[in-house]
Amino acid sequence: MTIAQEALKETTSVWQRIGPIARGGSVFGFAISPLADHPRLFAATSCGVYLSDDNGASWQQNLNGLTTPLLSTLGVGNNGALFAGSLNGELFYSLTLGLTWEKSRAALDAAAPVTAIVCSPNIKDDGTVFAATDGAGLLVSRSTGVAYESSSFGLNNVSVLALATSPDWSDREVMFAATPEGVFVSRNGGRAWRETELMLDDDVVAALVISPSFEDDHTVFASTEGGQLYCSRNEGHSWDLLQESVGEGALNALWIAPDGSRMAAGVGAGLYISSDQGETWERAADLPSDVLSIVGDDKILLVGMHDAGIWTSADGGRTVVDGSEGFAARGFAQLYVNDGQFYALGPQEGLWVSPDRGQSWEILPALQPYLPLTCLAIAPDGALLVGSQQDGILRSADQGASWELVYEGVGVQAISLAPDKVGLAGTIDGTLLASLDGGLTWNMAQTPCENQAILAIVPSTTYEQDSTVLMGSSIVSAGAGDARVILWRSTDRGATWRQITAQTTDARWLDIAMPSGVAENAASQAILATGPYCLRPLRRAKDVWISTHVDPNGANTLSVVAINEVDNNGMIFAATGAGIYRSIDGGRTWQRYREGMTNSSFVSIIATQDEGVHTLYALSLGGVLWKRALN
């Protein structure tokens, strides 16, 4: 039995959770299960849906069935049906309290971010769900989220920013919607809309809430980005300015208790409470970041913030505590290692460093003005080079304490530094840059992929012997041509290039890994990850590459790492949207490799070696780090 075959029987080694790089993350919306026998809380983030079955004490990420993690809002029906909308316009529904998701069908000319989802009070009978979008108007489903169609007649605007329904549709089906022009009302379940008196020229309505006793008190509230609070006591026929400003900043989130006794408002980074229908307000809490969403019931109040996770209250907002324990929904995308030092990078998260293999992390604050960041390269002498989407290339010679802008330009997406101080960098439009002094200065170089996005540049691990560099670029679909990713090879340190393979895919990423422990021509065993595919070269045929699906259900493959000769007892590991996979036959077949893990989606994987023992480190979507020693 070979070493690789023996590895299949591995039972003693499992993944160990090290912990999040940083807690928190942005929470764009909440939902609370209305079913007394199935209590559950839900949070919408850019890293998928998070569930809590212990009243917010802990949270568990779930992406089962979601085709995008970029969620922007949630809605729940009184029958427990759950609905989600995304920043790219995709809509989903769950009839299993968020454990599994199905994608909805929407008749849209162009997808647009979903801003709000509300359900009919009669959803058990009519299956009606509304989804507001910023660019495609108001959508309605009469099939419990299976399919959507337009419901914008009379709104006169394709941007719908807020939505609310009356709690009782037994006699009348009253709804309110806000567009950049103002507030509209529908009295026939969204089939037709008309203006109310609240039409604004210099402000925008950000949130709408309806009194739970609407059939008796006819009351609806509207808050604005300018911080104002309006109230109508006659179903929107006329409006009064209730508060010129509740606090300093935009009034982005508004909530009213199920019994109408209390209201909560998120104004900037403050939580405000009112016990008299909005007539007076008291600042209840100073929060660490701006409030994005508020929801609650008779047991709990949930407050979602930009970048700072979740805070909760068990007394209607009188006291608020940090509820982000175990909650990590940060936008880290790549993990790096150099001489035992770990780095984690995210476009808006910046660059973080760990001196103790992920046990503790610190942000490098000097890079914050240069966000979003795209890539990191580490020179043989330890100098750091970072790509900034808007500014260019930055270099640090003091471990990230200070940075110098060494190339000014936009769209830098890939940087590499070879042992001989030759540096290469690529941009989103195919511009190739070269450096001969370890990244201190950069000049234009001849590019083989003009007008293509350069995705990755990686020197061979045997570069000093073969002078080889691999580079990946992407082409968007045009006319009859399919979108694809292209791999280029240079054997003269980037002076000239030759295309060696291509993969049809809409993916805009490519990870290139060369196996460790290979003494000669490592580039001939390079492994590629793009879309749902893993690509590997066929060793006995020149420039012939084999493409396989890593996850049988088609989850995206985001990162790969290889150890030893790929076709001679080597191992390949892949981080996918469905967990970690392993191949012991050169990438021909794959097996799940996630024993001990609770996270289900991963964005990056690396390997270290100490005294002959390899250890894998995997970074989950959201920023939780895991490790596993290889037997």
The Cα 394–Cα 402 span in angstroms is 10
Name the average pLDDT for the chain.
Answer: 93
Residue 63 pLDDT exceeds 50: yes
Q: Which H or E element spans position 26?
A: none
Find the length of the chain.
631
Q: What tokens does 543 get? A: 């420039």
With b meaning 16 or more CB within 10 Å and e meaning fewer, what string describes 86-124?
Answer: bbebbbbbbeebbeebebbebebeebbbbbbbbbbbbbe
Count of Cβ atoms closer than 10 Å to residue 312 Cβ: 21
Residue 8 pLDDT exceeds 70: no
Q: Average pLDDT for residues 561-578, to the nearest whole number?
A: 91
With b meaning 16 or more CB within 10 Å and e meaning fewer, what string describes 21-55?
Answer: bbbbbbbbbbbbbeeeeebbbbbbbbbbbbbbeee
- Within 13 A of 536's CA, how many CA atoms are on the CB side? 28
Task: Please give the pLDDT value at position 1.
Answer: 38
Stretch among 77-81, 204-208, 293-297, 542-546 having the lowest mean pLDDT: 542-546
Q: What tokens does 289 get? A: 């970041």
41 in a structural domain: yes
Residue 3: which pLDDT band, with cuts at 50, 70 and 90? very low
> Do residues 469 and 416 lie in contact, with contact meaning Cβ atoms separated by under 8 Å?
yes
In terms of C-beta density within 10 A (0-12 exposed, 13-18 middle, 19 or more buried), how is residue 618 classed? buried
Task: Please give the pLDDT value at position 107.
Answer: 65
Residue 6 pLDDT exceeds 60: no
| Omega before 347 within 30 of 0, i.e. cis | no
Q: What tokens does 591 get? A: 């097996």
Q: What tokens does 391 get? A: 């500014």
Determine phi and psi for 492, rounding to 5 degrees: -135, 45
Domain that holds residue 85: 24-151
The Cα 506–Cα 119 span in angstroms is 34
Q: Which H or E element spans position 254?
A: strand 251-256
In terms of C-beta density within 10 A (0-12 exposed, 13-18 middle, 19 or more buried), how is residue 515 classed? buried
Determine phi and psi for 149, rounding to 5 degrees: -140, 170
Q: Average pLDDT for residues 473-498, to the nearest whole number?
A: 92
76 in a structural domain: yes
Task: Please give the pLDDT value at position 352.
Answer: 98
The Cα 185–Cα 195 span in angstroms is 6
Place of tokens 């989600």: 84
Residue 258 pLDDT exceeds 90: yes
Residue 109 pLDDT exceeds 70: no
Residue 37 pLDDT exceeds 70: yes
592 in a structural domain: no
145 in a structural domain: yes
Residue 12: which pLDDT band, with cuts at 50, 70 and 90? low
628 in a structural domain: no
Instruction: Give how many domains the chain has, as a whole number.
Output: 1
The one-letter amino acid code at 581 reads Y
The Cα 2–Cα 597 span in angstroms is 27
Place of tokens 């849906």: 49
Residue 518: which pLDDT band, with cuts at 50, 70 and 90? confident
Residue 145 three-state SS:
coil
461 in a structural domain: no
Q: Percent of the chain scored above 70 by pLDDT?
A: 97
Residue 342 pLDDT exceeds 90: yes
249 in a structural domain: no
Spell out the residues 6+ positions from residue 480 whose beta carbon is closer than 8 angstroms to its own: none
Residue 553 pLDDT exceeds 70: yes
Handedness of CA 254, 257, 259, 261 (dihedral sign): negative
Residue 254, beta-bridge partner list: 265
The one-letter amino acid code at 513 reads A
Q: Average pLDDT for residues 199-213, to the nearest whole number?
A: 95
**What CATH number corresponds to the domain at position 89?**
2.130.10.10
Task: Please give the pLDDT value at position 541.
Answer: 60
Task: Please give the pLDDT value at position 337.
Answer: 94
Per residue in 285-316, pLDDT (tens digit) is 999 999 999 999 999 999 999 999 999 999 88
Determine phi and psi for 370, rounding to 5 degrees: -105, 10
Task: Please give the pLDDT value at position 534.
Answer: 96
The Cα 59–Cα 288 span in angstroms is 20
The Cα 303–Cα 330 span in angstroms is 17
Q: Percent of the chain scored above 90 by pLDDT?
A: 85
pTM: 0.90
Pairing of strands 147-150, 162-165: unpaired
Residue 535: which pLDDT band, with cuts at 50, 70 and 90? very high
Spell out the residues 6+ positions from residue 592 whose beta carbon is closer than 8 angstroms to its own: 579, 580, 581, 582
Q: Which tops the pLDDT comparison, 477 or 184?
A: 184
360 in a structural domain: no
Determine phi and psi for 29, rounding to 5 degrees: -170, 160
Residue 208 pLDDT exceeds 60: yes
Per residue in 222-248, pLDDT (tens digit) is 999 999 999 999 999 999 999 999 999
Integer-rounded Cα Rg, in Å, for the chain is 27
Question: Dihedral of the CA atoms 352, 355, 356, 362 (nearest 10)?
Answer: -30
Q: Average pLDDT for residues 514-531, to the nearest whole number?
A: 91
Residue 9: which pLDDT band, with cuts at 50, 70 and 90? very low
